[in-house]
Amino acid sequence: MSVIYLLLTLSILVALVFLIAFIYSVKKGQYDDSYTPSVRMLFDDELVKEKKKTNLKTDTNTI
């Protein structure tokens, strides 16, 4: 059997995986709100910073 069959099957399988992944994510509503996540992902950073700042301050005080 020629290797081309194997290659064709593999390539189509990979493509199918992506298609299914895309349809699944649309179905789950991942593309419904394209704005809020972009804001949300910035929050944690700022919160962490805030905590770190206070930590640093207390650290320097104790030293």
Partner 1 sequence: MSNLLCYHCGNICDNTLIAIEDKFFCCNGCKTVFEIFSENDLTCYYDFEKNPGAIPEEIQGKYDFLANQKIVEKLLEFNDNNKQVVSLYIPHIHCSSCIWVLENLHKLQKNIIASQVNFPKKTIRITFNSELSSLKEIVLLLSSIGYEPFISLEDYEVGKKKVDRTLIYQLAIAGFAFGNVMFLSFPEYFEVNEFWLDQYKPVFRWLMFFFSLPVVFYSAKDYFISAYKGLKSNLLNIDVPIALGVSVLFIRSTIEIIFNLGSGFLDSLTGLVFFLLIGKFFQQKTYSFLSFERDFKSYFPIAVTKINTDTSEENTQIYDVKKGDRLLIRNNELIPVDGILINGDATIDYSFVTGESVAVEKKSGDKIFAGGKQLNGIIEMEVLKSVSQSYLTQLWSNDVFSKESVSKFKSLTDTISKRFTIFVLSIATIATIFWLLYDSNKALNVFTAVLIIACPCAIALAAPFTLGNLLRILGKKKFYLKNAAVIEKLAAIDTIIFDKTGTLTSTKKNEISYIGKSLSAQEEEVLQNAIRISNHPLSRMLYDSFDVIKQVELDTFQEVVGKGIEASLNQTLIKIGSQLFVENCPTDNQFETAIHISVNGNYYGKYVFKNSYRKYMKQLFTKLQSSYNLSILSGDNEGEKEYLAKRLPKKVQFLFNQKPEDKLEYIKSLQAKGNKVLMIGDGLNDAGALAQSNVGISLSENINVFSPACDAILDASKFKNIKTYLGLSKKAIQVIKYSFVLSLCYNVIGLYFAVTGQLQPVIAAILMPLSSITIVVFTTVMTNILEKKLKD
Binding stretches for partner 1 (CB under 8 A): 2, 4-5, 8, 12, 15, 19, 22-23, 26-27, 29, 31-36, 39-40, 42-43, 46-47, 50
In 3-state terms, the chain is what percent helix, strand and coil (to 5)? 85, 0, 15
Please identify, using beta-carbon distances, which residue of 43 and 63 lies nearer to partner 1: 43
* Min separation Cβ 60 and partner 1, Å: 22
Please identify, using beta-carbon distances, which residue of 34 and 61 lies nearer to partner 1: 34
Element housing 16 (H / E) = helix 3-27
